Amino acid sequence: MKKIILGSLLLLNILTSMKVLAQEKTLSLKDALQQAATGNRQLQIQAMENQRSAITVREKKSLLLPTVNVYGGYTLNTERPVIYLRNENQDIKLNDVRYGGRHSFEGVISAAYPLLNPVIKSSILDAGIQEEIGRQQTKQVEEQLAMNVSQVYLAILLNGEQLALLRQSMKRNEKALADSRSLFLQGKSLKTDTLANYIAIQNLVSAISSLQNNTEVLKLQLKQLMGIDDSIKIVLNDTLENQIDHIVITHPDSLLFTAMNNRKDIIAAELQVEQKREQQQAARANYKPQLWAIAQYQLQGQADNLKIWDYRIPRTSFAGLRLSIPIYNGGRQKYQDRQAMISIGQSEKTLADLKSTIGTEVHAANANLGESWRQLVIQDQNVEAAQINYNMMHDRYTHGLGSRLELSDAELALTKARLNRVQAIYQIRLTELQMKKATGTLALQ
């Protein structure tokens, strides 16, 4: 019995461990971006919009195919229709004559095929342009999603690096607090040293708690962007210094050329100008001749009873061409054409303003990236200097030549220098992201 209980407990422990492991997900930045590409709901909504646009194009193309309609009807004439006939033998008055039966049945099948219809052609081109605009908008959503995922991922890594440094500082300060307490009890140190070390530890506890809470919030945001369940625990296996390929393009003209050829918003804006022009052509096409091939086959019968089997069913059929030529419409074409010209001008101004804005954005991103790397060089020098200073203060303290307060100040300076260096690396990663986004080279996969 005891063996059965132990075996059951062991099996339960294994199953629990497997469940915990199944709910834990280790992610690199590349994995996070790939997960977002398939799981993000906003991206899925945009994909559905693209599907709708593709179906719209097929719908417009179907207007080029023949249209066939079948119609059937039954009519009960409570008062039969009247036709007026002149009786030339009696007087000049017209005599009314009723005709037809009280019950009438008819069936009609008709077909029409557009031989010449500029409106349909313009609507197809307009739908195709709109479909391409939708694709570019999807790429913009993907680009922004890649930016958001990368920013949150890097922010989590930044918090992790800062937590590691603060925990190292915490260990050194705890040792300092223990030493100051011991010296105070021996009468070799002041109480203020002990209090200063205690306050430093409490400040570190507060900073660590804040970072831990912020990290949990960022992880929830990352899960939402990736479209995974909140109950899944995620573990990031990348480091802050080895995230995104380092890109530095120093020549502004080269950067601007890359941006103008890769920015999705510029492509979308150019397509919108083209769409406005096509809409102008569609407005003009409404006032051009249209030619249709038409055909109809009709069966009909009338009687004063419902004995359908005794009806005579005469047939009528025809086929031919129908030409429609607009002559006058009150000047609507002129007003619609002016409206279209204004819309085209607005779109062209928007495109020019966008290109100007992107030029400024690219130059700013390039300048910020260069400055971020210069700041990292400075912070590397500060860390090196702070490390030398700490080693000197530690040696002096070990040999009884320096005070614990001096060593604490040196340790604080070293921690701050390391934190500043981590922040500088994080800033480089952000500016690299901004550079890729400004030049249109940031991709989700």
Domain ranges of the chain: 22-65+117-288+331-439, 69-115+293-325
Maximum CA extent, the chain: 149
pLDDT given for residue 273 in this prediction:
93
pLDDT given for residue 242 in this prediction:
67
- What is the enclosing helix (H) or strand (E) of 319? strand 315-324
pLDDT given for residue 22 in this prediction:
47
CA-nearest of 230, 219, 225, 222 to 44 is 225
Q: Write out the CATH class of domain 22-65+117-288+331-439.
A: mainly alpha
Strands (E), 136-243: 233-236
Q: How many CA atoms lie within 13 A of 187 on its CB side?
A: 0
Q: Encode pLDDT of 362-415 as tens digits.
A: 999 888 988 888 898 898 999 899 998 888 888 887 777 777 677 777 888 888
Q: Encode pLDDT of 152-198 as tens digits.
A: 999 999 888 888 888 887 777 777 767 666 656 666 555 666 677 77
Q: Which residues contact residue 53 at a Cβ distance below 8 angstroms, ignoring those fewer than 6 apart?
A: 127, 130, 131, 134
Strands (E), 10-102: 24-27, 67-76, 82-86, 94-98
CA-nearest of 112, 128, 207 to 412 is 207
Residues with pLDDT less than 70, the chain: 1-22, 87-94, 177, 179-194, 242-250, 404
pLDDT given for residue 54 in this prediction:
92
CA-nearest of 142, 138, 134, 135 to 36 is 142
